[in-house]
Amino acid sequence: MRIYLAGPDVFLPDAAAIAAAKKAICTRHGLEGVFPTDPVEDAAAEAATDRFMKVYLWNEAHIRSCDAMIANLTPFRGPSADAGTVFEVGFMRALGRPVMGYAHADANFRDRTLAFLGSAARRRDAPDEWEDAEGLHLEHFGLQDNLMIDGGILASGGRIVTRAVPAERRWSDLSAFEDCVAALAALHQN
């Protein structure tokens, strides 16, 4: 069972080491981890002239070749997960294959958004309802992220493992990731 390892881990200075560590965990659970930067042959990517388009098509080819996904949904430069990762979660959900997510966070989406907005957040004329400085509402379901992400993962048969870790381990801790691997391995055996 091939698992696409989605996440902003590709931007880490030690991305290769994280890739190797994630793959080793997958192997230990009888699964094969596929990292976005792994080599892949794809005719459309070969034909593309722009570097970004080659990278896009390589990633898409990897996702299509995988049976499931584990997405690192740790908040990235704002209240939500990395946009590239979120795109990939939506893509895999549409393919109908299971997606697991994990996030290193200590508050839910609404409360992270409130913290992000700070004094720019405004109360609405209803108990515990908020909007931003431009009047756009803050969704408030107690979820890990925007409801499309939580909903899509649940609809796929997966779930999100949220764990608070010390700030210095935000991008290196792999215990929640391993919980996702174990969940997919169990799914695979049943």
Size of the site for its own copies (CB under 8 A): 58
Say which residue the tokens 């209240």 belong to.
79
71 binds its own copies (CB under 8 A): no
Query: CA dihedral in degrees (25, 31, 36, 37; nearest 10)?
Result: 70
Write the binding mask 98 to 127 for its own copies: x where contact by CB under 8 A, - elsewhere: ---------------x--xx----------
**Residues comprising the chain, all counted:** 190
67 binds its own copies (CB under 8 A): no
173 binds its own copies (CB under 8 A): no
Write the binding mask 130 to 169 for its own copies: x where contact by CB under 8 A, - elsewhere: -xx-xxxxxx-x-x-xxxxxxxx-xx--------------
174 binds its own copies (CB under 8 A): no
Tell me if 97 sits within 8 A of 155, measured CB to CB: no
Q: Residue 90 corresponds to which tokens in the numbers above?
A: 């939506």
CA distance 149 to 91: 11
Tell me if 152 sits within 8 A of 86, measured CB to CB: no
Q: Which is nearer to its own copies, 67 or 150 (CB)?
A: 150
CA distance 20 to 25: 9
Residues of this chain that interact with its own copies (CB under 8 A) are 8, 11-13, 44, 50-53, 55-57, 59-60, 76-84, 86-95, 113, 116-117, 131-132, 134-139, 141, 143, 145-152, 154-155, 170-171
